[in-house]
Amino acid sequence: MTSIHDVARAAGVSISTVSYALSGKRSITEATRQRVEAAVRDLDYRPNAGARMLAGKRTYILAVTEPLRADTYAPAHMAFVLATATAARRYDYDVLLLLQDEAAGGLRRVTSSRLVDGIIVLDVTKDDDRVALVRGLAVPSVVVGVPDDTDGLVCVDLDFEAAARLAVDRLADAGHRTVGLLGEPRSVYERGSNFPPRFRDAFLTHARSRGLQARFAMPERDTAAARAAVTDLLGPRADLTGLVMHCEQGIQATAVELLRERGLSVPGDVSVVSAASTFDTAALPVPLDVIPLVPERSCDRAVELAIEQLTSRVEPRVELIAPTYVGHGSLAPPPSP
């Protein structure tokens, strides 16, 4: 790894001169500065974080706090971590990932030691200890998600309420009158996750406003529980004709398989819409229409707002990303009575 000694040797100057050239704390001649900058470029020298902290400079590190709880669906959540890291690299930033045991203590440690320039809060709950903490830190912070109390926060998220209404409208406009929502496991709602209740409540409320009969089930992650939940949604007369799935990929695949076993075709007998999914629903055994949850859209914006706060004031806000609908042929009018 290239050191400041290597840069000084290549430029023919002292170590202190290299430091002055990089920090701008003292004036040096233009010729000397150009030699130092050329050596830095040629050797691909990057000052370490400790040196930058001592100099009062940026560390070019963002803290990303993503608690991995017992009921966390890791593939979806890690997609947000990857999207954040990728967005950060476009600004020449690295990320420091803080997991569950470090949620609060880790944030205090990395900010008090000036190790990071900003914080991205992922998978925020409705009443999240990390939210209260970042409010009190003089560090640029962005929350991906919408907690109950957004006062003083910069938040970015998919508009889950609009996504739920979009799913209901597509089914209602096609003529469906009995619809169901296959949701997350019960524990996800009970621990205060912010987005599943937002989607559920908007779905049920909007379905009633459109005059639809709406059902809701919370399957556990095992196959038997998922099959039982879908059976409950279908009803004893199998009169359900529209199904929206806001759950992980394995449960959605199980639901589609159960419909096939019951002799119900998609979309001939049951129209199916996958909602807020981070995976490719076209790759399922039956390609499903989807209202996608694209991690890059919210994480790109979150990193952009965090970087912006380093040089200017960003007013507290909640930015909701409008949902889109991608058709794959799984929605049609209900079968004739």
What is 61-158+295-321's CATH topology?
Answer: Rossmann fold (3.40.50)
Contact 306, 200 (CB under 8 A): no
Question: What b-and-e string marks burial along 89-123, b requiring 16 or more CB atoms within 10 Å of the CB?
Answer: eeeebebbbbeeebbbebbeebbeebebbbbbbbb
Cα–Cα nearest to 325, from 168, 156, 163? 163
Query: Cα dihedral angle (64, 68, 71, 75), rounded to 10 degrees?
Result: 70
Domain positions in the chain are: 4-46, 61-158+295-321, 160-292
List the end-to-end C-alpha distance of the chain, in Å, as a whole number. 73
Task: Please list the pLDDT of the chain residue by residue as tens digits (337 residues).
Answer: 677 778 889 999 887 787 777 666 567 888 888 898 888 888 877 655 555 544 557 888 999 998 776 666 667 788 999 999 999 999 999 999 887 655 566 777 777 667 889 999 998 989 988 888 888 888 899 999 999 999 999 999 999 999 999 999 999 999 999 999 999 999 989 988 899 999 999 999 999 999 999 999 999 989 999 999 999 999 999 999 999 999 999 999 999 999 999 999 999 999 999 999 999 999 998 999 999 999 999 999 999 999 999 989 999 999 999 999 999 999 999 998 7
* Count of positions (residues) in the chain: 337
**Looking at residue 329, what is its pLDDT?**
97
Q: From CA 313, how far away is CA 98, in angstroms rounded?
A: 26
Residue 12, CA distances (Å) to 35, 42, 141 in order: 8, 14, 42
Give 307-313's long-range contacts (Cβ < 8 A, gap of 24+). Answer: 307/91, 307/93, 307/118, 307/140, 309/118, 309/140, 309/141, 309/154, 310/58, 310/117, 310/118, 310/140
Q: Which CATH number fits domain 160-292: 3.40.30.10, 3.40.50.300, 1.10.10.10, 3.40.50.2300?
A: 3.40.50.2300
**Looking at residue 98, what is its pLDDT?**
87
Whether the domain at 61-158+295-321 and the domain at 160-292 fall into the same CATH topology: yes
- The 10 Å Cβ neighbour count of residue 266 is 23
Cα–Cα nearest to 197, from 207, 189, 208, 205? 189
**Looking at residue 133, what is its pLDDT?**
85
Cα–Cα nearest to 231, from 266, 257, 199? 257
CATH class, domain 4-46, is: mainly alpha
- The 10 Å Cβ neighbour count of residue 16 is 11
